[in-house]
Amino acid sequence: MLRDLGLAGVGSVCVRCQFRLLVASHARARRGISTSSSAAVPQDTAVATEDDGRLQEGWMHPGPPEPPSSIPPIRPPTDPLSPRRPSSLSIFQSIVESQAGAPATPGAPAAGAAAIELVKDVARIQTMLEHEGATLAAAFAYFEDTVYPQIKDNGAVPQIIKNQIAAVLLEPLALTKPKDFDSNELPSVARITDIMIELDVLRPFAWAALVIELVQHIYRQKTVPEAYSSVKDFETAMARRDVLLYDLVGAWRAFCAQRSSTPHGSSAPKPPTKSVQTGKNAQNNTFQDAFAAMFPQYLLPSMLKPSLAAFATYKLLTEPFNRTRSIQSEAAPFLGMMKALIFQNTTARRAPKPEDFETVLDVYPDLSRFLWPPKSTKDQGYLNSASVFRETSRNAVATMYHHVNEAIKNKNLGTIQRTWAQFWGEAATPDAARITKLAKHPDMFDLFIYAYTVLRRPKLAVEVWNNMERIGIKPTIKTWSSMLHGCVKASNLAGLRTVWDKLVRSGIQLDTAIWTARIHGLFACGDPDAGLRALEEMAHIWTNRRDPQYAHVAVQPSIEPVNAALVGLLRLNRRNDVNKLLTWASRRGINPDLYTFNTLLRPLVRAGDMKGIDEVFATMRSINIEADVATFVVLLEGALNQIGCLPPAQQVAVVERIFAAMKEAGVEINMHTYAKILHLLLREGSRAEEPVKAVLAHIWRRGLELTSHIYTMLVDHYFSRDPPDCAAVTALIENRRLHENRAIDRVFWERVISGYAQAGETGRALDIFNRVFVAGSTITFSTLYDLLRPLLAEGNVAAAARVVEAARKIGRLEDGETGAGAATADGGRYWRHRFWHLVYRHGLMGQHLEAKFLQANQESMNQGWTW
């Protein structure tokens, strides 16, 4: 009879025992324990499982068995199941239908039919894996494409089907994944975890083994730059390590989501077999007890290994090398939970100890040394220094402040206007309640004035000014300074002079900062002699400060405006005037400060004038001025000049000595310093690979993340090679997941697009454009031109049209409601860019744009512009 039913392999198990075994299997699955695909003969006594607290995993052993053969994948079978399948399938179908409440008769309801189709597809997975040359990757792809959508659509899927999926696919995946965590074909640990929880087949003891293997794999990754032959290899390896960390955090995010409720579809959780002590005996509780108490749906013995996996993950994520901003937000919930559990929760009276996990650590000896390093190490017990990532909440005004600053960097007028509308409100005149709130943020008004001035929109800046006064906020010296700095940033000399004249007539009391800004601005806007006259004027007014007309303008000259003039003169290489300036300051009793010496050091270092450098340092020592980080940045230019001529080992030694000297001097090495060092090293090209790796390692060991500026330098470095190393740029973007990094600015993506386009990788350039800029973000015309040229050469008219549309949107943002390229002075400048001439020559303008282009062209010709 059994042979006729296709169950000859079961042996002498009777039908009653089979049913008992099925029920027991289903009950175990309800407790979060999946069943094996092969059944053992039930005995009168209970079958021992990992829920008894023993190390008897069914499919996760200390040394995982060999995975299925890794022969190239095969296509899912499209032929009917083998002749032997229908008999066993009919029994399985009967069980499924009985669980689903569907009659095992022809013409069953739709739900039953759907379940049977699902049974057949699960059986096909098993058939695939029985074929020679089968791979788990192909089987999982079939599951994702065919089986999983049915589970999502079907709703109530019988648990027996889920158990079969676990036995046939998920358990082998969890066994095989540790053999190749870097595989792009196998699903991630986080994905495996998600599916196990969704199907209610996750066994904590076995799942934790997979997580521990992942922790160990990350821990074994080499993080020293000497282990890699190039900057590209080192950066790629560290990026892959970050991907593994993301995977680890993702797995825990899914597992910890079960704290709030029992797994979907499971019965009410049973209390742990070993209760957690409270009161005077609570000090005997272990970390395992406290951790298991958060997951009552699982029996306590099965939570031993998960608690170890959690502790190991916590230790790994709190290592300085892993405290990067890129995983802060992802890791924060898990780390917060663990810190509360270890340090604050009264259930666990002590931190984890090795003896708590003795039986498990025998299997993972490397993990033991990682969690509890020898006491001779400098860092004795990481728990004293472990930090938890917390997201700082920012109010709406702070968020708007950030948006405006970013828009200033990107010259995005549209964002500034939208943010102003959000800040001011829809009404032309805000109500009393809103005015009260606005009055609390005068700095925001100053910021908008600065932003509009930088973008050469004086009318909008004046409008903000008038709105301030209209609601009772009086402009301060900071408000005037904002407009003055905006003119300087926009290189608007006429605007600078106009604002200063109005400031003096306003009668407001001036200060050192505003005088310094004026002098610096005159130099920056191209009138250095006016800057020197302004300094003389400042001294003259101070001498005659008792004159009533000078009362509000008089400010005693100090080193700050002198430094502003000094920087301007040195930039113009007016050495004689520098000496006169310093003599002038000395006669007036103005003493130099550290900024003065740093400014003087820069040209001396560049010229290699060691005698002059020594004199500067001798003077600094004589007046007790100590070097700061800016001083070292200046000295770096000399120390790293032509470093590529040194042997690699000596190059690294130079960089390490610089870091050591800064540390000894008590100087904090910030990201600006790192960027400066990398800039100096990367200009040496491939000759300075080793010190570049050393600097990157220094950054990552401190738990810091590369800035957008540093990423841009690396991209420029890769593109500057002959031939351009486009593969390195692609690896940098993908490995570091830069598309998801909000800190990456527009400049970086523009460099990437231009670099790809100029290197002949038009497809990659277009992909970046579509993902970053096509939605309407601001992009420079130079970048659009670099992209449009190869697109037209390849005849990709559709993509070229999208580039033209992006340019049209830029015009709309820049000119507000007037539309792209209005016939104004600014509109003429807009249309003069060679990008539009390329568009025009290839007939990509519509009639409306073409009319504007020709009109602006004609007006520019009339004004004497040549194209």
- End-to-end CA separation in angstroms for the chain: 94
DSSP 344: I
**CA–CA gap between residue 688 and residue 691 (Å, rounded):** 6
**Residue where a domain terminates, one of 443, 475, 507:** 475
* Same domain assignment for residues 552 and 425: no
DSSP 378: S
What SS3 state is found at 285? Answer: coil
* Same domain assignment for residues 549 and 453: no
**CA–CA gap between residue 811 and residue 660 (Å, rounded):** 51
**Residue where a domain terminates, one of 459, 475, 491:** 475
CB distance 317 to 219 below 8 Å = no
**CA–CA gap between residue 309 and residue 193 (Å, rounded):** 14
Q: What is the DSSP string of 648-675?
A: HHHHHHHHHHHHHHHHHTT----HHHHH
CB distance 106 to 56 below 8 Å = no
Task: For residue 584, tell me if it sits in a domain.
Answer: yes
CB distance 477 to 508 below 8 Å = yes
Task: For residue 427, tell me if it sits in a domain.
Answer: yes
* Same domain assignment for residues 492 and 469: no
CB proximity list for 840: less than 8 A, separation 6 or greater: 850, 853
DSSP 157: -
Show the tokens assigned to 518. Answer: 């004026």
* Same domain assignment for residues 759 and 836: yes
CB distance 236 to 334 below 8 Å = no
User: At residue 395, what are phi and psi to the nearest 5 degrees?
Assistant: -75, 175
Task: For residue 717, tell me if it sits in a domain.
Answer: no
C-alpha 581: how far from its chain's center?
47
* Mean pLDDT per 10-residue segment, the chain (867 residues): 34 38 40 39 36 33 38 39 42 49 45 70 83 81 87 78 87 88 87 91 89 89 82 83 89 86 37 41 66 85 87 84 66 85 62 74 73 52 28 60 87 90 88 90 94 94 94 93 94 94 93 95 94 95 92 94 94 89 92 90 81 85 84 80 83 85 81 89 86 90 88 93 92 88 88 95 94 74 93 93 84 44 49 88 86 77 48
Structural domain for 740, as ranges: 733-867
**CA–CA gap between residue 582 and residue 574 (Å, rounded):** 13
* Same domain assignment for residues 505 and 571: yes
CB proximity list for 278: less than 8 A, separation 6 or greater: 347
**CA–CA gap between residue 706 and residue 709 (Å, rounded):** 8
**CA–CA gap between residue 847 and residue 853 (Å, rounded):** 10
**Residue where a domain terminates, one of 540, 565, 591:** 591
* Same domain assignment for residues 794 and 768: yes
* Same domain assignment for residues 751 and 797: yes
Task: For residue 515, tell me if it sits in a domain.
Answer: yes
Predicted local distance difference test score (pLDDT) of residue 859: 66
* Same domain assignment for residues 579 and 551: yes
H or E element, residue 16: helix 15-30
Task: For residue 382, tell me if it sits in a domain.
Answer: no
CB distance 484 to 518 below 8 Å = yes
* Same domain assignment for residues 449 and 523: no
- CA dihedral of residues 338, 344, 349, 351 (deg, nearest 10): 40
Omega before residue 158 within 30° of 0, cis:
no
Predicted local distance difference test score (pLDDT) of residue 701: 86
CATH for 776: 1.25.40
**CA–CA gap between residue 465 and residue 859 (Å, rounded):** 33
**CA–CA gap between residue 513 and residue 517 (Å, rounded):** 6
CB proximity list for 60: less than 8 A, separation 6 or greater: 174, 175, 205, 206, 207, 209, 210
Task: For residue 637, tell me if it sits in a domain.
Answer: yes
Show the tokens assigned to 332. Answer: 């924060």
Closest CA to 122 of 155, 98, 72, 158: 158
Predicted local distance difference test score (pLDDT) of residue 568: 93
Tell me the residue type at 370.
Answer: F
Task: For residue 528, tell me if it sits in a domain.
Answer: yes
CB distance 24 to 163 below 8 Å = no
Predicted local distance difference test score (pLDDT) of residue 303: 87
CB distance 785 to 838 below 8 Å = yes
Task: For residue 573, tell me if it sits in a domain.
Answer: yes
Q: What is the pTM of this model?
A: 0.55
* Same domain assignment for residues 492 and 465: no
Closest CA to 49 of 28, 65, 30: 28
- The total number of structural domains that make up the chain: 4
H-type alpha helices, 318-347: 328-339
CB distance 731 to 711 below 8 Å = no
Closest CA to 531 of 496, 556, 502: 496
* Same domain assignment for residues 801 and 866: yes
* Same domain assignment for residues 824 and 746: yes
**CA–CA gap between residue 235 and residue 248 (Å, rounded):** 20
